[in-house]
């Protein structure tokens, strides 16, 4: 597993080759199998393939034009309603303090990382794109205001092989027994 984790890179250039449907299914399956608090599975994924819809998503993602080389985007959405019995009709955005939202985001992040790793194992590249604001991306995809868009994941066959980006050493990020 550590070799797989080391192999993954964020990819910003893709070939025009289409993704085999079974590979895409496998990436989505990796998300489906992720762990979540109370096994609530508070996530939804939107597969975007049309040129028109990809362009609209790219434009609200701070015009990151490189995204268009990927044939598919998977949009990961945290659905806090899935964690709650009540119909929580509240407006959510980046400043929301709502605890259910945080839990849904946490769980959806786990599922999203599963997708990045499974895509890499399938020979596909991805890049988690988070440079957008909720109020702009939600209308493009028809997402209700009580969901939180966690990331757009362009996915396709890589047309670049970037070197590993640096990480902090363990000595900087691990402490033992207490803070
Ligand atoms: C939550 C999140 C948001 C990101 N947003 C963007 C983005 O909008 N555009 C982009 O080019 N890369 C984005 N990235 C990719 C990071 O820059 C990349 O993961 C980091 O530089 C480490 O490189 P690596 O993934 O190749 O190891 C994002 C990554 C994460 C986890």
Kindly list the structural domains of the chain, giving each domain's residue range(s) and its CATH number in brackets, ordered by start.
12-173 (3.40.109.10)
Nearest atom within ligand 1 for CA of residue 11: 26
* Residue among 129, 152, 155, 164 whose CB has most ligand 1 atoms within 8 A, to mutate: 129
48, 104 contact by CB (below 8 A): no
Nearest CA to ligand 1 atom 21: 165
How much distance in Å is there from the Cα of 126 to the middle of ligand 1? 10
38: left (phi over 0), alpha (psi -120 to 50) or beta: left
Q: Cβ atoms within 10 A of the Cβ of 172, count?
A: 8
pLDDT at residue 99 in the model: 78
pLDDT tens, position by position, 99-153: 788 889 999 999 999 999 999 999 999 999 999 999 999 999 999 998 999 999 9
Strand partners for 44: 77
Task: Give the whole-number percent of the chain exceeding pLDDT 70.
Answer: 92
Q: Give me the helices (H) in 48-169, please.
A: 51-60, 99-121, 134-141
> Whats the size of the chain, residue-wise?
179
How much distance in Å is there from the Cα of 128 to the middle of ligand 1? 5
At 176, is the pLDDT very low, low, confident or very high (cuts 50, 70, 90)? very high
Dihedral sign, CA of 118, 160, 71, 112? positive
Place of tokens 């701070």: 62
Q: Say what the pTM is.
A: 0.93
Mean residue pLDDT across the chain: 93
Query: What's the rounded mean pLDDT across residues 72-95?
Result: 75
């Amino acid at each position: 597993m550590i070799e797989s984790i080391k192999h993954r890179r964020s990819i910003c250039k893709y070939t025009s080759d289409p993704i085999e449907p079974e590979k895409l299914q496998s990436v989505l399956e990796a998300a489906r199998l992720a762990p979540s608090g109370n096994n609530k599975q508070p996530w939804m994924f939107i597969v975007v393939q049309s040129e028109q819809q990809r362009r609209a998503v790219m434009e609200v993602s701070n015009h990151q034009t490189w995204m268009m080389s990927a044939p598919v985007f998977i949009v990961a959405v945290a659905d806090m309603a899935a964690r709650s019995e009540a119909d929580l009709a509240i407006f959510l955005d980046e400043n929301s303090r709502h605890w259910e939202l945080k839990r849904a985001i946490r769980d959806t992040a786990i599922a999203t990382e599963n997708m990045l790793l499974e895509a890499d194992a399938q020979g596909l590249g991805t890049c988690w794109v988070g440079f957008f604001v909720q109020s702009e991306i939600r209308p493009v995809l028809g997402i209700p205001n009580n969901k939180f868009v966690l990331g757009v994941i362009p996915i396709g066959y890589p047309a670049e092989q970037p070197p590993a980006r640096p990480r902090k050493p363990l000595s900087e990020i691990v402490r033992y027994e207490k803070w």
